[in-house]
Structures are given as structure tokens and as C-alpha cells.
Amino acid sequence: MTAVVFDLGGVLTESPMVAFAAYEAEAGLPEGLIRRLNSTDPDANAWARYERGELDTAGFVDAFEAEALAAGHRLDARRVLGALAGELRPAMLTAVAALQAAGVPLALLSNNVTPMERTGRLGELLGRFDAVVESSVEGVRKPEPEIYRRALDRLSEAVGRPVPAHECAYLDDLGINLKPARALGMHTIKVVDPAAALAELSELVGLDLTGARGTGSAR
């Protein structure tokens, strides 16, 4: 592999699923309710429309709470949104820095609800990527195939040469988001255990990203 594309939430940051579960327990909601709502009518539900920029925050709150009510439950959609801000994973940040230092083309591909701030620790992290592709800016979202093609196009433009899908590794924590990348020809890595994911990526790029010395050329 000569390029790497990372997801943000659940890969570079802690998964929001943990915070979702904590809120569900606190509010007396069924375990997994938020995930189920997000998976119902996944291309046209409130979450999908918010990530494509078709709803503002107030519109999302109304629509998501209405979806919950239709499923028989009351929830606070703003509390759900607050769960999205996961902590950055130090081992992943170290790996990104090592890949950048080795000259590996890097892209970040994220479903999000507002453009990311280019300040603080997150801004420092984003500065390590040659291309950053956000659903809220693009008007398309994962798992729509178009956003993966845009990530490859932006990365190719940034590094000044074509970056074909078969030369690219893609890391995401959701299987539904990995399928279109794999269909395009990318090598996909599902991030369940970050250490295991970094070990697999290390083999692909020929660098030890688990904390040891590099094992070869990454270019």
C-alpha cells in the first residue's frame, strides 16, 4: 500500500457508541436504540440528512426526536450529539505522524455534521493529512460510493499524482462503511481493536506503527 485513508470517529477518536450506551442507560432507554435509529432508513433518516448538510441542528433535533417517538421512546437529541466528541487516541495520532514523516499520502474521510475546526489538537491532527473530505461539506456521506471517489481524487490532486484505489488502505470502525471502499479496490481494515488495526496497517505499508522501528520503505 502506498496511501492510507482514515475515518475519524471510532478510529482516530474513541467510538461514540460507548457514550451512546451510557446515555441510554442513564435515560432508561433500550440498549442500542440510538444505533437502531441510525440504521433505520439509513439513506434518508435524520442522521443521514444532517451529515449531508440537508438539516441544520434544530432540524435534526426535531427529526431525530420524532423518529425516536415513532419507535416508542423519548430522548434528548442534543445529548446524543454531545456524545460525538470522542477523545483522540494517542496511538493512532502517533501512527499518523509516523506515516506523514515517511511520506505516505494521507486522507481523512469523515461523516460529520459541521465542518471540523482547524484549531487545537484536532487542527494539528488535520494538518497532517494531505486531503480532508467531510460529508457536511461535500453533501454526500459514507456509505455513498461518491464520497470515496472524491477522497481518492482529492488525495491525488494533493500529492500531484494518481492514487488508485488498489494502492490505498482504508480504516473505519463500521462494516457498512468499509464495503464501498472494498468494492472500489481499497484494502479495508475494520477498527475494533486499535492495536490490532495498527498491526495490520503496519504490514501493508512496511512500517512498524505499533511503536517499534520502521521495517521498510513506505513510499
The pLDDT of residue 213 is above 70: no
pLDDT of residue 11: 96
Task: Let me know if residue 131 belongs to a domain.
Answer: yes
Q: Per-residue pLDDT tens for 156-177? A: 999 999 999 999 999 999 999 9
The pLDDT of residue 122 is above 90: no
Q: Per-residue pLDDT tens for 27-71? A: 999 999 999 999 999 899 999 999 999 999 999 999 999 999 999
Task: Let me know if residue 213 belongs to a domain.
Answer: no
Do 185 and 100 share a structural domain? Answer: yes
CATH number at residue 155: 3.40.50.1000
Residue 52 belongs to domain spanning: 16-82
Task: Copy the grid coordinates of residue 116.
Answer: 471540523
CA–chain centroid gap for 176, Å, is 12
Residue 118 main-chain phi, psi, to 5 deg: -100, 45
Do 33 and 136 share a structural domain? Answer: no
Write out 137-204 in H/E/C secondary structure. Answer: HHCCCCCCHHHHHHHHHHHHHHHCCCCCHHHEEEEECCHHHHHHHHHHCCEEEECCCHHHHHHHHHHH
Estimate the crossing angle of helix 90-101 against helix 194-205, to 10 degrees. 10
pLDDT of residue 121: 84
The contacts of residue 110 (CB under 8 Å, 6+ apart) are 7, 8, 9, 116, 132, 133, 134, 135
CATH number at residue 56: 1.10.150
Task: Let me know if residue 211 belongs to a domain.
Answer: no
The pLDDT of residue 216 is above 80: no
Task: Let me know if residue 151 belongs to a domain.
Answer: yes
Task: Let me know if residue 175 belongs to a domain.
Answer: yes
pLDDT band at 214; cut points 50, 70, 90: very low
Long-range contacts of 44-48, Cβ-Cβ distance < 8 Å, separation of 24 or more: 48/141
Q: What is the end-to-end Cα distance of the chain in Å, rounded? A: 9
Dist CA 212 CA 189 (whole Å): 21
Contact 111, 11 (CB under 8 A): no
Per the structure, the count of domains in the chain is 2
Q: What is the DSSP string of 78-91?
A: HHHHHTT-PPB-HH
Contact 9, 89 (CB under 8 A): no
Task: Let me know if residue 145 belongs to a domain.
Answer: yes
The pLDDT of residue 23 is above 50: yes
Q: Which helix (H) or strand (E) holds 98?
A: helix 90-101
